[in-house]
Amino acid sequence: MANNKTQCFICNKEKLTFPCEGCLNRFCLIHLPEHYQILSEELNHIIDDYNKFKETMNEQKQNPHNHSLIKQVNQWETNAIEKIQKKAQYCRKIVIESLQTLINDIEMKFNDLNKQIQQLHKETDFNEINLNYLRNQLIEITQELNSPSNISIQQDSQSFINNISIILPKKPKFNKWEQNAITVAAENGQGQQLNQLNRPVGILIDKEKNIFIADNSNHRIVEWKHNAKQGQVIAGGNGKGNRMDQLNCPTDVIVDQQTHSIIIADSLNRRAIRWMDQKQQILIHNIDCQGLAMDKHGFLYASDYKKNEVRRWKMGEYNNEGIIVAGGNRKGNQLNQLDCPTFIFVDEEQSIYVSDRENQRVMKWRKDAKEGQTVAGGNGDGRNLNQLSSPEGIIVDDLGQIYVADSGNHRIMRWCEGKEEGEIVVGGNGAGNQPNQLKGPAGLSFDDEESLYITDYWNHRIQKYEIAL
């Protein structure tokens, strides 16, 4: 017979052995049951530990005040109170000793004053001067008794009690907004007066809550000061045309902080143009641009809805063709394609978010990526929570939450990256001009108080939705 015996892990003798797949050792027939008995005992220990943990969990669930973190807070409270009580006791002792000395001095003054009163009363030889003197003396010692001039309480601005605070994991703030909006610009309907708008598209709110509006069909950019009743034209407004001082259906406006100028998507003039103190400079020629963005490094981004791409330009190098950073692979619905890109947003990592209008989706292109990923919509044209209809304006907050002007559904949606569907933020009550309705929302912007501003395209107005308290 062939020698198929191996060494047992426990007795170290050459025997017929069997392997354990867990520890990869071999055991003879005598010690194999012993090995499994040890495993069974370990399993029982784990079960016991599990049951103990379950009891502990149930105990903490029923009595959260017994948690170790609560005990730390309680201990801090006890220590703080003990320190305060000791300090208070010491201060009381000092004050009582000082007051006793003060009262003794005042008592001596009072006795002296009392003698003077009795003397005057006895002699009946006094006048108004004497009475005023006595009255003033009594007022002085009364004030000194109630508010000692040489004793006071001083509070140190630096606390001797160590402050504590609770640090929680950073979670998204799912803000809610009032569902009835305030019209903050153009309450007077469609028109070309300074208190009117005509199909507003892009919008921007600065730190002073001034509103910059691409007043599309009035061929102008209007600045609406905070709480103003009318706007003022800061670019265009000289009729429809292609002169340097004219615009033709502008769709977006951004502020270049470094040059203190505005850059305009002059859509039907097929250019991006800078306006600074009534002086103009064409930055980009021959581009069917709807959306503009600028990142923290000063790079300018522009969408081209006919070439189905987004390009980036370095500041001061606008005379070249720029670099394609999204799309550029002809019209289509693949992950490396776009179909009529409109508004764009660039985050801190230079990722580009694109409203891919005809594909009914929002795409995210990471820096230097060859294709994007769908982060909102992408399930066809519709009104379900996993769908969009002609998306326009787009904002992404610091937590990566994506806000989209769902134009065809007359609502604003919020999507969290990786989620299958979004949620309605405001609107969604059908097309209309009531405070809780929108009609073709286009541009989006937040102010520093997180109020949401929307260009209500077909209602020719700007709506402000305040945070719900």
Q: Is residue 83 part of a domain?
A: yes
114 and 253 in a single domain? The answer is: no
The percent of residues above 70 in pLDDT, for the chain, comes to 95
* Separation CA 90–CA 87 (nearest Å): 5
Task: Evaluate whether residue 176 is within a structural domain.
Answer: no
pLDDT confidence tier of residue 2, bands split at 50, 70 and 90 = very low
State the pLDDT at residue 421.
93
Q: Is there a single domain that holds both residue 158 and residue 186?
A: no
Regarding whether 397 and 296 lie in a shared domain, the answer is: yes
- pLDDT attached to residue 166: 61
3/398 Cα distance (integer angstroms) = 71
Q: Return the higher-pLDDT residue of 281 and 174.
A: 281
Question: Which of 62, 87, 111 finishes a domain?
Answer: 62
Please tell me the predicted confidence (pLDDT) of residue 103. Answer: 83
Same domain, 21 and 110: no
Once rounded to an integer, what is the mean pLDDT over residues 422-440?
96
pLDDT band for position 118 (cuts 50, 70, 90): confident
Beta bridge partners of 456: 441, 461
Lowest mean pLDDT among 120-134, 154-168, 442-456: 154-168
In a domain, 175, yes or no: no
* pLDDT mean over 66-79: 87
In this structure, are strands 14-15 and 401-406 parallel, antiparallel, or unpaired? unpaired
Residue 300 included in any domain: yes
Q: Is 61 left (phi over 0), alpha (psi -120 to 50) or beta?
A: alpha
Q: Are residues 435 and 319 in the same domain?
A: yes
For residue range 368-413, list pLDDT tens digits in order.
999 999 999 999 999 999 999 999 999 999 888 999 999 999 999 9
Mean pLDDT computed over every residue of the chain: 90
Closest CA to 327 of 268, 369, 378, 270: 369
SS (H, E, C) the chain: CCCCCEECCCCCCEECEEECCCCCCEEECCHHHHHHHHHHHHHHHHHHHHHHHHHHHHHHHHCHHHCHHHHHHHHHHHHHHHHHHHHHHHHHHHHHHHHHHHHHHHHHHHHHHHHHHHHHHHHCCCCHHHHHHHHHHHHHHHHHHHCCCCCCCCCCCCCCCCCCCCCCCCCCCCCCECCCCEEEECCCCECCCCCCECCEEEEEECCCCCEEEEEHHHCEEEEECCCCCCCEEEEECCCECCCCCCECCEEEEEEECCCCEEEEEEHHHCEEEEEECCEEEEEEECCCEEEEEECCCCCEEEEECCCCEEEEECCCCCCCCCEEEEECCCECCCCCCECCEEEEEECCCCCEEEEEHHHCEEEEECCCCCCCEEEEECCCECCCCCCECCEEEEEECCCCEEEEEEHHHCEEEEEECCCCCCEEEEECCCECCCCCCECCEEEEEECCCCCEEEEEHHHCEEEEECECC
The whole-number average pLDDT for the span 22-31 is: 90
Domain count, the chain: 3
pLDDT score of 106 more than 90: no
Q: What is the pLDDT of residue 121?
A: 75
Whether 115 shows a pLDDT value over 70: the answer reads yes
Whether the pLDDT of residue 157 is over 70: the answer is no
Looking up residue 215, the CATH number of its domain turns out to be 2.120.10.30
Same domain, 118 and 264: no
Q: Are residues 322 and 235 in the same domain?
A: yes
Tell me the mean pLDDT in the region 53-66.
Answer: 83
What per-residue confidence (pLDDT) applies to 273? 96
Confirm if 436 and 181 have CB atoms less than 8 A apart. yes
* CA pair distance 337, 365, nearest whole angstrom: 11
For 162, the domain range is 79-167
In a domain, 67, yes or no: no
User: What pLDDT, on a 0 to 100 scale, did the predictor assign at position 3?
Assistant: 60
73 found inside a domain: no
d(CA 24, CA 230): 83
Residue 1 pLDDT class (50, 70, 90 cuts): very low
Q: Which of 142, 167, 192 is the last residue of a domain?
A: 167
Is 346 found in the same domain as 237? yes
As a whole number of angstroms, the distance between CA 357 and CA 348 comes to 24
Last residue of one domain, picked from the residues 135, 167, 199: 167
Whether 458 is in a domain gets the answer: yes
The pLDDT assigned to 170 comes to 57
> Does 341 lie in the same domain as 458?
yes
Question: Are 253 and 290 within one domain?
Answer: yes
Q: Are 291 and 343 in contact (CB under 8 A)?
A: yes
Residue 70 in any domain: the answer is no
Residues 203 and 307 in one domain: yes
Q: Return the minimum-mean-pLDDT range out of 1-15, 145-159, 348-362.
A: 145-159
Q: What is the pLDDT of residue 300?
A: 95
Q: Are residues 202 and 280 in the same domain?
A: yes
